[in-house]
Amino acid sequence: MIDVQVWALPAPAGASQATLDLTILDEGERRRMAAFVRDRDRVLYGFAHVALRTILSTLTGVAPGVLRFTRALCPCCDKPHGRPVLTSASGEFSLSHSRDLVLIGIAPTPIGVDAEPVPAPGVAEQLANVLHPAERDEVEAALPKDRPAIFARLWARKEAYLKGLGTGLGRDLAADDVRGAVEGWQLTDLSVGPGHAAAVAVNSPTPCKVRVHRTLPE
């Protein structure tokens, strides 16, 4: 059975750039972080990437600032903007951050994670139109008060799967029904507290053991 580890981490209250060890980020990460207009978004991005390097360093034994990344080829266009890949150690990972929540997944095989805020009812009903017909039917069949949470669950599962594939939203959102298992992949809902839906998708024909951590490794 494949061992999958997921970290569900709330961004520390009151965190600022000064509280983050940005020295372990590479030049590209620092440049992308600086491009955010809002302080809150810069801090969330910095915290997420420092956390990712901290976790990967613990698991691989490679110093966090030494870890290097590249991109796999995209299955849709064969260009190098697919799944992020470690070049300095083995292992697969995925990163998602939404509002004040960071989600990091680690596995020995391709993996995708996603966390989504539960949207307003009107947004859920509008965006449901781009889903697979069976997914859209599930949203529309629910009571109006339940539709946002159902949509968020389906969207998180879909984005996790598409991240695992390496296509992201470049793949037709109506192409796959992610309500249950997808051939060759295991999709698991994650409990991350009220206001969010989250999921992990793992490239495996058999069920996986998913362990969820709430704090960074020491």
Question: Which of 31, 214, 208 is closest to 112 using CA atoms?
Answer: 208
pLDDT at 14: 67
Q: Is residue 149 part of a domain?
A: yes
Distance (Å, rounded) from C-alpha 165 to C-alpha 185? 10
Distance (Å, rounded) from C-alpha 40 to C-alpha 17? 10
Q: Is residue 194 part of a domain?
A: yes
Q: Is residue 218 part of a domain?
A: no
pLDDT at 54: 95
Q: How confident is the model at residue 68 (pLDDT cuts 50, 70, 90)?
A: very high
Q: Is residue 78 part of a domain?
A: yes
Q: Is the pLDDT confidence value at 18 over 70?
A: no
Q: Is residue 96 part of a domain?
A: yes
Question: Which of 124, 115, 79 is closest to 212 using CA atoms?
Answer: 115
Q: Is residue 26 part of a domain?
A: yes
Lowest mean pLDDT of 81-90, 105-114, 120-129, 193-202, name the range: 81-90
Whether the Cβ atoms of residue 42 and residue 63 lie closer than 8 Å to each other = no
Mean pLDDT of the chain, nearest integer:
92
Q: Is the pLDDT confidence value at 8 over 70?
A: yes
pLDDT at 109: 95
pLDDT at 15: 64
Q: Is the pLDDT confidence value at 188 over 90?
A: yes
- The structural domain count of the chain equals 1
Q: Is residue 177 part of a domain?
A: yes
Q: What is the CATH number of the domain that holds 32?
A: 3.90.470.20
Q: Is residue 195 part of a domain?
A: yes
Query: Cα-flanking dihedrals φ and ψ of residue 3, to 5°?
Result: -95, 120
Domain containing residue 106: 3-213
